Amino acid sequence: MKLAGEVRAGNIIKRGNDLFLIVKCEYYRAARQNAIIKMKLKNMETGALQETSYTITDKLDEVRLDVKKMQYLYSTNDSYAFMDQETFDQVEITKEDLGDAIYFILEEQIVDILFYENKAVSIDLPKSANLKVTYTEEVTRGDSSGKVTKPATVETGLEVQVPYFIKIGEVIIVDTTTKEYVGREQ
Amino acid sequence: MNLINNNVDIHCHVVDNYGDAGIALRLARSYQNKYPLARISLFIDDLSLLNLLDSSINSSLEIQELENIVFIDILRARMNDFSPAPLVIQLLETPLPEVYRDKAYLNSQLIINIEGISAESWVESVHGSASYIDGVAKKHFYIPGFTEQSGGMLINQEKQKNKPFDRAYFLNEHNLAPSSDCLVGVLFNYGEEVDAMINALNKYQKKIYLFVCGEKSQRSLSQTMLPEGKLVLIYPRFYSQLEFDALLKIADFNLVRGEDSLMQAINVANTFLWQIYPQTDFVHIVKLKAFINMAEEFFEDKELFKIYKDLLLYYNGISEAKDEEIEDITYSFMDNLDKIRLNLQKLRKKVLEKGTLIERLLKFIEQI
């Protein structure tokens, strides 16, 4: 069992007798320290997509699949290609199945690829990813009262709310579940 | 969805302060108002807070029924004794006791998790969304908010019963008399230092009776040394929920905090400032900014809105203005109480156009 707040795009969960690939996780901070995660799930058997919301403390039945370390080579419009580091075999995973995981992988990076019935289905992401800021506005504290965060775009195209002091070129640590800023790379 | 009856179980875990219990009590009463014959049960883990909000609720009883609402002390009751209602409401993700939860998943029809109110844009996309539970019951998220596509605002519509809660009721208790040239205000915050604003109120042209409510505000303000001026600080006893709602109604301006007081301040339609419940990682600031953006829509006069916004930021402890500037902003705020109120009344009208939270909740259930 895993808490809903700990799973991320690419994980597989079991509900009843069905396996679901988590394609997308939208994380919303609610009142108190609560949060709601709206997930886009793909039924691994039928391919049907559905949305389900959970609180971060809901318990989910995570399924561990076979994992292989592979290198991310390139992407096309529809899919991402990965290479086995030992056999040099290549596999492709569709962009749709990777969902939000695409925001956390960089070319040539070694990633954990999950296999279901010998087919590559998703990536097992680490809890956080280090990503370079490619664009953000310069904000000086005091420019606008009360402004403590601002949007920043990182090298994978993801937009993240960051503290006002973050500058272009800095590498930030982003939580792969919440897609939120965690800190700066030291 | 057709529920087999209108009984409802409301579950509330008190995290801190009075808001959790206050909202639970308000929800139970609103529901009871709609369905007087239904069995409304409120399961809560801090009855002493309910006793503060309504002294007729006895905090020493494991279970009691008052005005057709059953109050259950969840820390003492044996949950196995209860059969869950067709509708189970979890307030702010209150966890259901395991033995009760298992029964509810199998025997209830619908479980609704009511979240905190927010003006953030995500509210509309999550409000009403389905969750998954391993059982027969369905579960949905219900997110209160300020737009048509959100869950609305929880307010009481019940009329004041016997007591005339007018200005005299509140002032006479402190040997003060209502007078047309005096203003009445309420300060109920999380104890954030607001000295610059208080100093300005003290130097304002009109006499002000300021009711300082809640121990955090009272503790904070009791440290403030005020020279003789126009401001009279009143430290009242703890008011019941009905009394506090009425106090907000008779006041000229309300400086409130938290979710429940915000909704009531909006409802009574007097000028208010709101201090949001502080959260970690700037989350409350994002929520506050969303509220400010939403409120701006109702102000045609942008200069007036700037006054309102600047003081709202100060009241939330995130203004960078100097004390002298805050004093000036406070004077402008006080000079424009009526104009600001007219704009905030538009906000109220818009939010309640599609009904109160309870009315929208019942429609939502029908449509599932």
Q: Which CATH superfamily is domain A66-124 in?
A: Nucleic acid-binding proteins (2.40.50.140)
Q: What average pLDDT does the segment B208-216 reach? A: 96
For residue B160, the model assigns a pLDDT of 53
Which chain B residues are Cβ-neighbours of A141 within 8 angstroms? 320
Spatial separation of the C-alpha atoms in residues A64 and B111, rounded to whole Å: 30
To which residue do tokens 């008190």 refer?
B14
For residue B175, the model assigns a pLDDT of 93
Spatial separation of the C-alpha atoms in residues B23 and B19, rounded to whole Å: 6
In this model, does residue B61 exceed pLDDT 60? yes
CA distance B304 to chain A (A): 17
Integer angstrom CA distances of residue A106 from A73, A131, B352? 9, 9, 49
Q: What average pLDDT does the segment A55-76 reach? A: 91
Spatial separation of the C-alpha atoms in residues B273 and B333, rounded to whole Å: 10
Integer angstrom CA distances of residue B37 from B4, B87, B187, B308, B366? 14, 15, 38, 44, 19
Beta strands in B103-157 (DSSP E): 110-114, 138-142
Crossing angle of helices B241-250/B258-268, nearest 10°? 50
Name which of B287, B247, B252 is nearest B264 in CA terms.
B247
Which chain A residues are Cβ-neighbours of B120 within 8 angstroms? 28
Residue in A closest to B276 by C-alpha: A31
CA distance A116 to chain B (A): 23
In this model, does residue B105 exceed pLDDT 80? yes
pLDDT, tens only, B315-324: 999 998 999 9
Phi, psi of A87 (to 5 degrees): -95, -15
Residue in B closest to A59 by C-alpha: B133
Q: What average pLDDT does the segment A69-98 reach? A: 94
Whether A2-62 shares its CATH topology with A66-124 is answered: no
- In CATH, the architecture of A128-184 is Beta Barrel (2.40)
CA distance A113 to chain B (A): 27
**Spatial contact of B116 and B23, defined as CB atoms under 8 Å apart:** no
In this model, does residue A145 exceed pLDDT 50? no
Q: Among B95, B126, B321, select the one facing A53 at the smallest CB separation.
A: B126
Question: How deeply is B223 buried, as exposed, middle or buried, from its count of CB atoms within 10 A (0-12, 13-18, 19+)?
Answer: exposed
Above pLDDT 70, what percent of chain B? 98
Spatial separation of the C-alpha atoms in residues A180 and A175, rounded to whole Å: 5
DSSP B241: H
Spatial separation of the C-alpha atoms in residues B336 and A17, rounded to whole Å: 63
- Test A28 with B122 for CB contact under 8 angstroms: yes
Integer angstrom CA distances of residue B83 from B8, B86, B97, B139, B365? 11, 9, 13, 18, 21
Q: What average pLDDT does the segment B182-205 reach? A: 95
In this model, does residue B265 exceed pLDDT 50? yes
Element of type H or E holding B326: helix B323-335
Q: Among A29, A52, A146, select the one facing B313 at the smallest CB separation.
A: A146
Name which of B313, B149, B143 is nearest A30 in CA terms.
B143
Crossing angle of helices B195-203/B323-335, nearest 10°? 50
Q: Among B113, B143, B320, select the one facing A145 at the smallest CB separation.
A: B320
Which chain A residues are Cβ-neighbours of B119 within 8 angstroms? none
- Name which of A69-78, A167-176, B142-151, B161-170 the model is least confident about: B161-170
Check CB contact of A32 with chain B, cutoff 8 Å.
yes
- pLDDT tier for residue A162 given thresholds of 50, 70 and 90: very high
**Spatial contact of B272 and B247, defined as CB atoms under 8 Å apart:** no
Q: How many CB pairs under 8 A join A and B?
A: 86
Which chain A residues are Cβ-neighbours of B95 within 8 angstroms? 57
Beta strands in B78-235 (DSSP E): 87-91, 110-114, 138-142, 182-187, 207-212, 231-234
The dihedral sign for the CA sequence A22, A24, A30, A33: positive
Extents of the domains making up chain A: 2-62, 66-124, 128-184
Q: Where are the alpha helices (DSSP H) in B159-282?
A: 167-172, 195-203, 215-222, 241-250, 258-268
Which chain A residues are Cβ-neighbours of B281 within 8 angstroms? 29, 180
Go through A96-120 and write b for each residue having 16 or more CB atoms within 10 A of its CB, e for each that does not. ebbbbbbbbbeeeeebebbeeeeeb
A125 contact partners, CB below 8 Å, separation of at least 6: A8, A9, A10, A101, A104, A111, A112, A176
- Test A148 with B118 for CB contact under 8 angstroms: no
Check CB contact of A165 with chain B, cutoff 8 Å.
no
Q: Among A28, A51, A57, select the one facing B93 at the smallest CB separation.
A: A57
Check CB contact of A144 with chain B, cutoff 8 Å.
no
Spatial separation of the C-alpha atoms in residues B25 and B67, rounded to whole Å: 12
- Test B279 with A33 for CB contact under 8 angstroms: yes
For residue B53 the two structure tokens come to 């909000």
**Spatial contact of B191 and B223, defined as CB atoms under 8 Å apart:** no
For residue B309, the model assigns a pLDDT of 97
Which chain A residues are Cβ-neighbours of B286 within 8 angstroms? 29, 149, 161
CATH number assigned to the domain with residue range A2-62, chosen from the 4 options 2.20.70.10, 3.30.70.1560, 2.30.30.30, 3.20.20.70:
2.30.30.30
**Spatial contact of B124 and B115, defined as CB atoms under 8 Å apart:** no
CA distance B248 to chain A (A): 24
Q: Among A30, A33, A57, select the one facing B115 at the smallest CB separation.
A: A30
To which residue do tokens 């539970």 refer?
B133
For residue B226, the model assigns a pLDDT of 86
The dihedral sign for the CA sequence B13, B19, B25, B31: negative
For residue B230, the model assigns a pLDDT of 92
CA distance B130 to chain A (A): 6
pLDDT, tens only, A23-53: 999 999 887 778 999 999 999 889 899 999 9
CA distance B77 to chain A (A): 24
Averaged confidence pLDDT in chain B: 94
- Test B131 with A57 for CB contact under 8 angstroms: no
Residue in A closest to B285 by C-alpha: A146
CA distance A92 to chain B (A): 31
- Test B286 with A149 for CB contact under 8 angstroms: yes
